[in-house]
A = this chain, B = another copy of it.
Amino acid sequence: MIDILINRIDELNNPTVVGLDPTLEMIPGHLKEAKFAEFGKTPQAVAEMFVEFNRQIMLAVQGIVPAVKPQVAFYERYGIHGLMAYERTCSLAKKMGFIVIGDIKRGDIGSTAAAYAAHIGGTDIEGEKYDLWHEDFITVNPYLGVDGIKPFVDACNANDKGIFVLVKTSNPSSSQLQDKLVDGVPVYLHVAALVDEWGRDAMGEKGYSRVCAVVGATHREQGAKVRQALPNTFFLVPGYGAQGGTAEDIRGFFDSNRRGCIVNSSRGIIAAYKKNEKYGEKDFADAARDAALAMQKDIMG
């Protein structure tokens, strides 16, 4: 799947991913009112809005961006109905030809991580096989060390899927733990070394491992250091746009062939209609398409 992702980025000349992180506040009024009228002010109404909102966004950016990244928290907030919207979004994205990065940041002890690995490894019920989540990649948390990661790596290799391990996150307080110095080297570079180690037996055909890293666009110098340390590791780069990261900030995250990264924007794309008066509420999908094209130009420029 890492090779498919790299191919698809090359085909579209676009190393970006749209974060499908809907909130009730960004749903256009006409869509909101229709679903509230049908289902009441219920989690089911919100779930229906989110699926329809995502569907129209995806139609608008199809053929422009290679991947989408739904953040499960924004769905989990609405309980079971919310998670049904997450699952439907992933399924629909696959059918529309997107690569799906499930931003779930799971991580636990070995036996529990093995259960979470169903996200990319599928579920076996006495010989019946199910792919219940429709994700190609997921994000995972390294705090528990290798036994919390190994089940995911095994699932990557068995099913040609991928994981993005949190190395240096985009948020301001990422420094509290990730920048602490261990033998003169920050924790995030120790995690990077672990990611390198975990990924060596999971190499794709194009020089990158199925075990990838999350490196925030908001940390220009640190990201460049992680690239130096990890020449064969593909990066998911959050933090561009709404969180403050720029194309200039992430130049050093790419390899010498300008490959090796996929850059995420969520609010900056899906809520773009709110930032520019030329769009009305009903133009939210067009605004997302324009914002996706502008982001491509900015990053490839």
Seen from chain A, the residues whose Cβ lies within 8 Å of a Cβ on chain B are 21, 24, 36, 41-43, 45-46, 71, 73-74, 76-80, 82-84, 87, 105-110, 112-113, 115-116, 118-119, 123, 125-128, 130, 132-133, 141-148, 166, 169-178, 180-183, 187, 190-191, 194, 238, 243
Contact = CB atoms under 8 A, between A and B. Distances in A.
Contacts of A115: 71, 73-74, 76-77
Point out which of A78, A80, A191 has the most chain B C-beta atoms below 10 A from its C-beta.
Answer: A80
B80 A176 contact: no
Contact of A176 (B112, B125, B145, B171): B145
B173 A148 contact: yes
Contacts of A84: 80
B43 A125 contact: yes
Contact of A191 (B45, B82, B177): B177
A21 to B, nearest CB: 8
Interface centre among A148, A171, A172, A182, by most B CB within 10 Å?
A: A171
Given A78-B123, A171-B109, A176-B194, A143 B145 contact: no
A130 B83 contact: no
B173 A146 contact: yes
A146 B176 contact: yes
Given A71-B115, A141-B141, A148-B171, 14 more contacts: A41-B127, A73-B116, A79-B132, A105-B107, A105-B141, A109-B169, A109-B243, A143-B143, A144-B169, A146-B176, A148-B173, A176-B194, A181-B182, A182-B187
Contact of A24 (B41, B46, B125, B190): B125
9 contacts: A21-B112, A24-B125, A78-B123, A83-B83, A144-B173, A145-B171, A176-B194, A177-B194, A180-B190
Nearest to A118: B77
Contacts of A144: 166, 169, 171, 173-174, 177
B76 A87 contact: no
A125 B83 CA distance: 16
Contacts of A190: 177, 180
A296 B165 CA distance: 39
Contacts of A43: 123, 125, 130, 132
Contact of A175 (B82, B116, B145): B145
Contact of A171 (B36, B42, B110): B110
Contacts of A176: 145-146, 194
A141 B107 contact: yes
B194 A187 contact: no
A53 to B, nearest CB: 15
Most chain B Cβ neighbours within 10 Å, of A43, A142, A176, A181: A176
